A = this chain, B = another copy of it.
């Protein structure tokens, strides 16, 4: 290898797959507008490659990759395919307008994959993979190849596959561990063996993609990087199927705080980490546990007497990451009704929100309402208000005008709702239920009549204090297929000082998303999606 080798670069490319592998978390389904918004904040954070979807898998994935290709110009945009011509052609079409398009194709290399999943031979599989790379190269310059289940493959066969696909033009190669049962030593050894045994490896970037089943995804990714990988495949908050993917924030902050050890940089603006984490949590409805590294609520909180003592005496005794470095806002700045338009505007700008005039006005009105009920409005209240008023990426078909409820441990919970429909008509109905939320949802169902099942419900107080704003996150599952997908799940959220009202808003949010998805599907069908 000479000085120009890719794998001796001192930069690790960050390949974010929140929108593809992360979205495979049960119930994380995002609509196209939400995916575009997440792509936008990923771009602003400095991600190198965004894996925007698996275009052939659904019209929603196709449209998301297409729109992100058109609107996000500062990153490479990547689409996943299996190793067949149709998948690749659909991905190429979705990526057509991207400034820097990448097709990500590949297939299994272990015997169990080749025999049981692909039902072919090693030579047959190698041929399929090569054909896929050659086909993808007809459309794009940048082709990434995944050799699935490489950890269980015959190493000689793996090297031969990688050499062949690189010779055919693959620019990045990847050995995803579909399950996260590998130790960092083993994974590092695998990556090193690839770096040492694939003769033309210097013509491609080695990428690492780890899952977290035993809680070692970050350590495995870093072991890969120390052994020659220069691309890390990660998701925000580590979301993904089962125990999830590698966390972007952990890998980036490990490389950042331990530059002495790794000697490697990334292009990530670390101060964007916390706001992006919050946005993804909110849009996917997947909560972050308090003891999550880097982005959990307690990540920087001390409680023990001994440690507090140490922190006071010498800050470097115990703390290395400063919360500000990852964009955790200073929670001590609070506003009140008297802060006025100017004060609110200033604080929102400090928190990194850029709102147009109409959006600002909506936020300001909600701010006044909240400030009227609570004495003070802090950073988290503001986040909840912005989330409700601005960060909604769908058309609101039904609007909740009025809700009222009575309940208790010896009464029959009863709710009344008034809802405005798509053509301005107003409906009013009531229902009893097992609790106030159940009663509200049944009353709403009587008006809207979109059959679904509530599969998850949670409330968090967004701030401290008995008069706090409550933030409700729910997930509903459509009874009828949406866009050909059975049991499609939609999340919704709503914030209010009254958790029953917040619950009603969250349900309306999820129902409107569901209805919006049905309309989108109908439009795509009539536009003759290929």
Which residues of A are in contact with B by a Cβ distance under 8 Å? 24-27, 57, 82, 112-113, 116-117, 149, 178-181, 183-186, 212-220, 222-223, 226, 237-244, 247, 250, 253-254, 257-258, 261, 286-294, 296, 298-307, 309-310, 313-314, 316-321, 373-374, 400, 402-411, 413, 416, 433-438, 441-442, 453-461, 464-468, 470, 496-501, 503-504
Say whether, besides A286-B291, A436-B436, A442-B466, A215 and B457 are in contact (CB < 8 Å). no
Instruction: State whether A435 touches B470 (Cβ < 8 A).
Output: yes
Q: Which 4 A-B pairs have the closest CB atoms?
A: A404-B408, A219-B219, A435-B498, A457-B461
Q: Please state the number of chain copies in the assembly.
A: 2
Q: Which of A293, A373, A405, A468 has the most CB of B within 10 A?
A: A293
Contact B455 A464 (CB under 8 A): yes
Q: Check B317 against A113 for contact (C-beta < 8 Å).
A: yes
Interface pair B303/A26, CB less than 8 Å apart: yes
* Nearest CB in chain B: distance from A69 CB, A: 22
The chain B residue with its CB closest to the CB of A28 is B303
Say yes or no: A243 contacts B296, CB within 8 Å.
Answer: yes
Complex Cα gap A117–B317 (Å): 9
Query: In the complex, A438 Cα to B374 Cα: how many Å?
Result: 11
The answer on a CB contact under 8 Å between B243 and A293 is: yes
B437 and A301 contact, CB distance less than 8 A: no
Cβ distance A375 to chain B, nearest Cβ, rounded Å: 10
In the bound complex, what is the Cα–Cα distance between A416 and B410 (angstroms)? Answer: 12
Contact B402 A405 (CB under 8 A): no
Interface-central residue, A222, A239, A290, by most chain B CB under 10 Å: A290
Cα of A250 to Cα of B460 in the assembled complex, Å: 27
| Complex interface: chain B residues within 8 A of A216 (CB) | 216, 218-219, 222, 250, 254
A212 to chain B, nearest CB (A): 5
A170 to B: closest C-beta gap in Å: 20
Are B291 and A436 within 8 A (Cβ)?
no
A407 near B461 with CB under 8 A, answer no
Query: Which residue of chain B lies nearest to A239 when distances are taken between CB atoms in the complex?
Result: B291
CB pairs A–B below 8 angstroms (14 shown) = A25-B298, A179-B319, A214-B253, A214-B293, A215-B217, A215-B294, A243-B293, A244-B291, A288-B289, A403-B409, A404-B409, A408-B501, A435-B500, A455-B465
**A245 smallest CB distance to B (angstroms):** 9
Residues of B within 8 Å of A501, CB to CB, are 407-409, 435
On whether the beta carbons of B254 and A318 are closer than 8 Å, the reply is: no
The answer to whether B318 and A178 touch across the interface, beta carbons within 8 angstroms, is yes
* Cβ-defined partner of A434 (8 Å) among B223, B316, B497: B497
Q: Do A116 and B317 contact each other (CB < 8 Å), given the known contacts A184-B184, A218-B215?
A: yes
> B499 to A437, Cβ gap below 8 A?
yes
Centre residue among A116, A243, A470 by max chain B CB count within 10 A: A243
Contact assessment for B183 and A258 in the assembled complex, using a CB-CB cutoff below 8 Å: yes
* Cα-based distance from A409 to B498 in the complex (angstroms): 8
Q: A261-B186, A319-B179 are in contact. Are A456 and B461 (CB under 8 A)?
A: yes
A318 touches B179 (CB 8 A): yes
**Given A241-B301, A453-B465; A116-B314 close (CB under 8 Å):** yes
CB distance from A392 to the nearest CB of B (A): 18
- Cross-chain contact A408 with B403 (CB below 8 angstroms): yes
A498 touches B434 (CB 8 A): yes
Complex contacts, A149 vs chain B, CB 8 Å: 317
Known: A214-B254, A243-B292, A292-B243. A458 touches B457 (CB 8 A): no
Which residue of chain B has the shortest Cβ distance to A219 in the bound complex? Answer: B219
A185: chain B residues within 8 A (beta carbon): 184, 223, 226
> In whole angstroms, what is the CA distance A403 to B411 when docked?
9
Q: Among the listed B258, B299, B404, B409, which residue makes an inter-chain contact with A407, where contact means beta carbons less than 8 Å apart?
A: B404
The CA-CA distance from A416 to B219 in the complex, in Å, is 54
In angstroms, how far is the closest chain B Cβ from the Cβ of A56? 11
Residues of B within 8 A of A290 (CB): 25-26, 286-287
